[in-house]
Amino acid sequence: MDNANGKASDQKRTGVCQDNGLTNGFHPTQTGNGSCSALCSNGTSTSGGFSSSSSSSSSSAAGGGGSGHNGIEHFHDLQFQEDVHNNGSPPKRCRLRRRMDSGKKSRPPFPWFGMDIGGTLVKLVYFEPKDFTAEEEEVESLKSIRHFLTSNVAYGNTGIRDVHLELKNLTMCGRKGNLHFIRFPTQDMLGFIQMGRDKNFSSLHTTLCATGGGAYKFEDDFRTIANLKLQKLDELDCLIQGLLYVDSVGFNGHPECYFFENPSDPESENCVKKTCCLDNPFPMLLVNIGSGVSMLAVYSKDNYKRVTGTSLGGGTFLGLCCLLTGCETFEEALEMAAKGDSSNVDKLVKDIYGGDYERFGLQGSTVASSFGHMMSKEKRDSISKEDLARATLVTITNNIGSIARMCAVNEGYFGAVGAFLELLKMTDDL
pLDDT at 336 over 90: yes
Count other C-beta atoms under 10 Å from residue 46's C-beta.
14
**Partners of residue 117 on adjacent β-strands:** 122
pLDDT at 138 over 80: no
Helix axes 71-80, 235-249, angle to 10 degrees: 60
Higher pLDDT, 92 or 329: 329
pLDDT at 73 over 60: no
Q: How far apart are CA 370 and CA 346, in angstroms?
A: 5
Q: How far apart are CA 74 and CA 96, in angstroms?
A: 13
| CA proximity to 23, closest of 422, 425, 305, 427 | 422
* Structural domains in the chain, sorted by start: 71-243 (3.30.420.510), 346-382 (no CATH)
List of residues 6+ apart from 158 with CB closer than 8 A: 49, 50, 51, 184, 185, 188
Catalytic residue among 73, 235, 256, 422: 235
pLDDT attached to residue 99: 44
Kindly calculate the radius of gyration of the chain based on its CA atoms and give it in whole angstroms.
Answer: 22
Active site residue 235: yes
| CA proximity to 276, closest of 28, 33, 55, 65 | 28
**384-410: pLDDT as tens digits:** 999 999 999 999 999 999 999 898 888
Query: 119 near 7, Cβ under 8 Å?
Result: no
Query: 122 near 192, Cβ under 8 Å?
Result: yes
The rounded mean pLDDT for the chain is 76
Q: How far apart are CA 385 and CA 341, in angstroms?
A: 10
**48-70: pLDDT as tens digits:** 333 333 333 333 333 333 333 33
Residue type present at position 325: T
Residue type present at position 89: S
pLDDT at 139 over 70: yes
pLDDT attached to residue 265: 73
> How is residue 307 annotated by DSSP?
E
Rounded average pLDDT over 177-184: 94
How are beta strands 417-420 and 284-289 bridged, if at all? parallel
| CA proximity to 148, closest of 177, 182, 191, 188 | 182
pLDDT at 424 over 70: no
pLDDT attached to residue 279: 82
Q: pLDDT exceeding 70 applies to what percent of the chain?
A: 71
**108-132: pLDDT as tens digits:** 778 888 999 999 899 999 999 988 7
Query: 162 near 422, Cβ under 8 Å?
Result: no
Rounded average pLDDT over 313-318: 94
List of residues 6+ apart from 408 with CB closer than 8 A: 35, 285, 414, 415, 416, 417
Rounded average pLDDT over 178-207: 90
DSSP one-letter string for 82-118: --GGGTTSPPPHHHHHHHHHHGGGGPPPSPEEEEEE-
pLDDT at 209 over 80: yes
First to last CA, the chain: 25
How would residue 106 be classed by pLDDT, with cut points 50, 70 and 90?
low
Higher pLDDT, 201 or 18: 201
pLDDT at 71 over 60: no
Higher pLDDT, 283 or 136: 283
